[in-house]
Structure 1
Amino acid sequence: MTATRIEHDAFGPVEIPAGRYWGAQTQRALGVFDVGTERFPVCLLHAFGLQKIAAARANARCAALDAALAESIATAAGELSRGLFDDHFPLTIWQTGSGTQTNMNANEVIANRANELLGQPLGTKSPVHPNDHVNASQSSNDSFPTVMHIATAMELTQRLVPSLTVLKDALEDRARAFADAAKVARTHLMDAVPMTMGQAFEAFAWQANSGIARLKDALPRLLLLAQGGTAAGTGLNAPENFDVFFCEEIGKLTGLPFEPHPCKFEGMSGHDALVELSGALNVIATSLIKMANDIRWMGSGPRCGFGELVVPNDGLTSSIMPGKRNPTIAEVVAQAAMQVAGNHVTVTMAGASGNFELNVAKPVLIHGVLQSIRILADSARVFAGRLVAGLEVDRERLEANLGNALLSVTALNPVLGYDKVARITRTAVERRIAPREAAVELGYLSAEAYDRLVDPLRMARGKS
């Protein structure tokens, strides 16, 4: 039989597993919100630890909390921020739309741990009380959105942007390596004029770099914090300068230049900054699907497909076809990006769920944003290291394709005119011969003149 302890709240006694640091409100919530298994990522829990440290120290600076008590809270919250209490957050994301239960979970864990450090048993609420002290000058309504912004800004700057930079660099490296590898371009999935494989990877690198720029463009709005707005945005029960001191303290902890939101009503009732960011994440997901699928197609075969790219071996194979090599990493990246696109729909709907002075879909909104950031960051890193960096081109295949490419004759338009070039193309198709042979047979050009005028690399650089 599991040992328990008894804690009390406004509704009476509650039985709690003895070794757990959460309190009565969290335990009650476990019995009310019995929905799903989806949990907040630990980065959000760790951000709560940082938020409670900053709030305690800001309260002490405002003389709203005894300095010694504030530091005991900061010590316990520091342990939370370092992951020591991840297992003491049992609630799923399916809870009150303000995130009140997870805020109270944090308050209770920190209060119990602070009291333990001060020599008191769990559940005493003295000398540190979860509401009166850990949650002093705060409401779930301003603390949860503040934590949403802190966690998102940190994940963005410390995880996603670095991973996308690694991918951008890998794509640029392949662009340089393939700069002289002429290939057939494709439009409408059909053969077009010559280009280089390097140019294809330049396009990918541009997409990755643009994604980084979009994230950086969204960051300033994420650095505005609602903390200090308390229940509805008015700042009721928060001392003067609490929001300023809070941002100074959280800035020291994170190294990020957070500032008080100049309109805390907006920071609590609407989450446009997070919806904006989710839009940028959706664009990045779109870009990654494009890259992954193009690489899959160009590497298809290797004998009976395009076979232009040589996909590195990942050591995996078919369950029935020995030695079969599949573009597994590209498929993983595409699937992760699809999830991000789905998350953006959820984030959009959640962002639109601000009713008067409070958005009431915060938990599902931040769950979607943080999941998107994490899987995009992981995908970009794996894509770069396990696929892009190891890609090579099959130059023999590229040369064979170019020799048979009908639309290379586009370079002859200024010399022969559209109609004669069209006849070369038609003859090559009907006779199943190369366009060079058709041009010579029709008497339009000598073989030497054709080779001089139809130069794939010159054409790829826009020169006829």
Structure 2
Amino acid sequence: MSTRIEHDLLGDRAVPADAYWGVHTLRAVENFPITGQTIASYGDLIIALAQIKKAAAQANRDLGLLDARRAQAIVDACDELVDGKLHEQFVVDVIQGGAGTSTNMNANEVIANRALELMGHARGEYDKLHPNEHVNMSQSTNDVYPTALRLATYWGVLRLQRTMFVLREAFAAKAEEFKNVLKMGRTQLQDAVPMTLGQEFQTYAVMLGEDEQRLSEARALMLEINLGATAIGTGITAHPDYARLVCLHLSELTGLKLMTAPNLIEATQDCGAFVQLSGVLKRVAVKLSKTCNDLRLLSSGPRAGIGDINLPARQAGSSIMPGKVNPVIPEVVNQVAFEVIGNDMTITMAAEGGQLQLNAFEPVIAYSMFRSVRHLANACSTLTEHCVKGITANEAKLRADVLNSIGLVTALNPIIGYAAATAVAAEAHATGGSVYDIVLERGLMQRAQLDEALQPEALTQPRWLS
């Protein structure tokens, strides 16, 4: 294999001649064989890094710190990364020591070597354009990496919200379809009072809508960046106007209303925004999992369970029991939720583990956050397409359950009183008789009055009958 020799503070190393990455990346690959998942897996992060490096080059050019030719070469190389090129050159493991330095250097080296090519030079001719001196000018990993995480997270959450919206619309459509399907509501897994299946499905849509709003609030926290802070927030090695200019350029490149944190020393060490967003992701996961628990319970059976609804059959459910079909889609969403809840604990502990002026554990925050966002988005899409859209109701069974339920007597409380209603319920439970028949036999109500009291609209919304 053809190689080139590159040098760092530890000495010389041979780097593959066709690689755009360099010696710093090589050492990181050797040092961190942790997850087997490289930065190349996260295109949003690479694009964010490229936009940051481009904005920095433009700001340094404007300030007269970087000559126009080098600046343009860096800008053009960054544009290629934004277009999806050379992502395979980001070979460092996502989880790494060094607070993200290896990720930043991987970006610096790829951009520098591609910029060198665009200038007519060979890769590795760093005397013409250097990864640190030019691509990383006025920057530190400690402001580049957190800013890139915030941008990548912002975009990922935006995609998650789109999948949640589609899922919410699917639940709302089912709510409309089932709006006249009467059924028994349940509390503590016991019969409660009647409702419609549409009301039940509408709650799932409402819960998703609430979580979309909470995500929007938490996502907005990602727009405050510490770019310009350099090493610890003092801005050492950066021009006094750099932070303002680089934020303006980056806002223009991303189309986002970014703002420089008012205190860059605080912003460089604080991971509170990631903790808050992760908490909201956990909230989404918990409520989504609860919804899937409901779907599994409501579809349990088909003959010895609750059996209110039918989930679409997706695959054979057993290697030994012929004809068995399992609720595999809700089950996989449950498992994603468990993962997200665990990721939240990882993010919490990583944020807590920061010391003094920097948190060294942002790589695991990034890894956990990106997985939570991506897997939740995939789970929402899977639940929408492979489950919710195909749900059907067992209408005859649902209505029979209502008419046979002891819980029906609750609707008669305002008319016959709690004591009489309790006696009716006790007799129905003991004899297996229906509430309807027992009320008539005891002469507690006339048939017309009873029929009026047990109309679906009287059973599923506020209405006073006396």
Report the TM-score, using the length of structure 2 for normalisation: 0.95
Where does residue 368 of structure 1 map in the other structure? 368
Shift of 1:405: 1.1
Aligned with 2:127: secondary structure?
coil
2:376 is the alignment partner of 1:390: no
1:44-99: CA deviation from partner (whole Å, max 9, x where unpaired): 12221121111111211122211221111111122223332222222213322410
- Paired residues of 2:95 and 2:367 also in contact (CA < 8 A): no
> What is the SS of the residue equivalent to 2:195?
strand
CA–CA distance in 2 between the matches of 1:108 and 1:363?
19
Deviations 1:324-362 (A, max 9, x none): 332221111111111111111111111112211111110
Aligned pairs for 1:417-428 within 5 A: 417-428=417-428
Alignment deviations for residues 373-398 of structure 1 (CA, whole Å, 9 cap, x no partner): 11111111221222112222111111
Matches within 5 A, 1:228-239: 228-239=228-239
Q: Which residue of 1 aligns with 2:184?
A: 184
Report deviation, 1:117. Answer: 2.0
Partner SS, residue 326 of structure 1: coil
Aligned residues of 2:182 and 2:399 also touching (Cα < 8 A) = yes
Q: Does 1:64 align with 2:60?
A: no
Tell me the secondary structure at the aligned position of residue 359 of structure 1.
Answer: coil
Residues 5 and 13 of structure 2 are in contact (CA less than 8 Å); yes or no, is this contact kept in structure 1? yes
The aligned counterpart of 1:50 is: 51
Gaps of 5+ in 1: none
Count of residue pairs the alignment pairs up: 462
Question: What CA distance in whole angstroms lies between the structure 2 residues aligned with 1:399 and 1:280?
Answer: 38
How big is each residue's C-alpha offset from its partner over 1:293-327, in whole Å with a ceiling of 9 and x where there is no partner?
11111112222221111212335543333443322
Kindly indicate whether the alpha-carbon contact (under 8 Å) linking 1:424 and 1:439 is maintained by their aligned counterparts in 2: yes
Equivalent-residue separation in structure 2 for 1:58 and 1:163 (angstroms) = 36
User: Contact 1:115–1:126 at 8 Å: present in 2 too?
Assistant: no
Q: After the TM superposition, which residues 13-412 of structure 1 pair with which residues of structure 2 at under 5 Å, given as runs?
A: 13-40=12-39, 41-157=42-158, 159-412=159-412
SS at match of 1:123: coil
Secondary structure in structure 2 of the residue aligned to 1:115: helix
SS in 2 for 1:186: strand
Amino acid at match of 1:182: L
Distance 1:342 1:97, change over 3 A: farther
Looking at structure 1, the residues matched to 325 and 173 of structure 2 have their Cα atoms a distance apart, in angstroms, of: 24
- Secondary structure of the structure 1 residue equivalent to 2:345: helix
Q: Compute the displacement of 1:414 (Å).
A: 1.7
In structure 2, what is the Cα distance between the partners aligned to 1:42 and 1:318?
Answer: 38
SS in 2 for 1:49: helix
* SS of residue paired to 1:240: coil
Alpha-carbon distance in 2 for matches of 1:189, 1:402:
15
Whole-angstrom distance in 1 between the partners of 2:166 and 2:211: 13
> CA separation in 2, counterparts of 1:313 and 1:175?
21
Q: Assess if the C-alpha contact under 8 Å between 1:137 and 1:239 holds in 2.
A: yes
d(CA) in 1 for partners of 2:385, 2:462: 32
Question: Equivalents in 2 of 1:174, 1:58: separation in Å?
Answer: 52
Whole-Å Cα distance in 2 between the matches of residues 299 and 220 of structure 1? Answer: 38
Instruction: Report if aligned partners of 1:145, 1:267 keep a CA contact under 8 Å in 2.
Output: no
1:269-294 deviations in Å (ceiling 9; x for gaps): 01111111111111111110011111
Instruction: After TM superposition, give the deviation of residue 426 of structure 1 in Å.
Output: 1.0
Q: Is the CA contact (8 Å cut-off) linking 1:62 and 1:240 kept in structure 2?
A: no
Residues 140-176 of structure 1: per-residue CA shift (max 9 Å, x gap): 011100101111112222x112111111211211112
Paired residue secondary structure (1:14): strand
**Contact 1:353 1:359 survives alignment (8 Å):** yes
- Residue 14 of structure 1 contacts residue 24 of structure 1 at CA under 8 Å; is this kept in 2? yes
Residue 109 of structure 1: how far off its partner (Å) = 1.0
Q: Aligned partners of 2:378 and 2:97: how far apart in 1?
A: 30
- Residue 186 of structure 2 aligns to a residue whose secondary structure is strand
Contact 1:53/1:74, CA 8 A, preserved across alignment:
yes
Q: Which one-letter code corresponds to 2:15 in the other structure?
A: I
Instruction: State how far apart, in whole Å, the 2-side matches of 1:304 and 1:206 are.
Output: 31
Counterparts of 2:321 and 2:258, CA distance in 1: 55
Deviations 1:1-33 (A, max 9, x none): x33321112222111223221111111222223
SS of the counterpart of 1:184? strand
Contact 1:270 1:352 in 2 (8 A): no
- Give the conservation status (yes or no) of the 8 Å contact 1:195–1:457: no
Cα distance between partner residues in 1 of 2:250 and 2:324: 52
Q: Which moved more, 1:141-150 or 1:305-314?
A: 305-314
Distance in 1 between the 2:361 and 2:372 partners?
A: 17
Take 2:96 and 2:313, find their aligned partners in 1: how far apart are those partners? 45
The question of whether the paired residues in 1 share the 8 Å contact of 2:226 and 2:267 is answered with yes
Q: Which moved more, 1:356-365 or 1:118-127?
A: 118-127
Mapped contact 1:14–1:28 kept (Cα < 8 A) = no
In the aligned structure 2, how far is the partner of 1:412 from the partner of 1:97? 69
Q: Which runs of 4+ in 1 moved over 6 A?
A: none
Do the aligned partners of residues 424 and 344 (structure 1) sit closer, same or farther apart at CA in structure 2, a change above 3 Å counting? same
- The letter for the 1-side match of 2:86 is F
- Whole-Å separation in 1 of the counterparts to 2:385 and 2:323: 22
Structure 2 SS opposite 1:8: strand
1:235-287 superposed Cα distances (whole Å, 9 cap, x missing partner): 11111222222222222222111111111122210111111111111111111
Structure 1 contact 9–24 (Cα < 8 Å) conserved: yes
**Alignment identity in percent?**
38
Task: Indicate if the aligned counterparts of 1:6 and 1:14 stay in contact, CA closer than 8 A.
Answer: yes
Stretch moving more, 118-127 or 273-282: 118-127
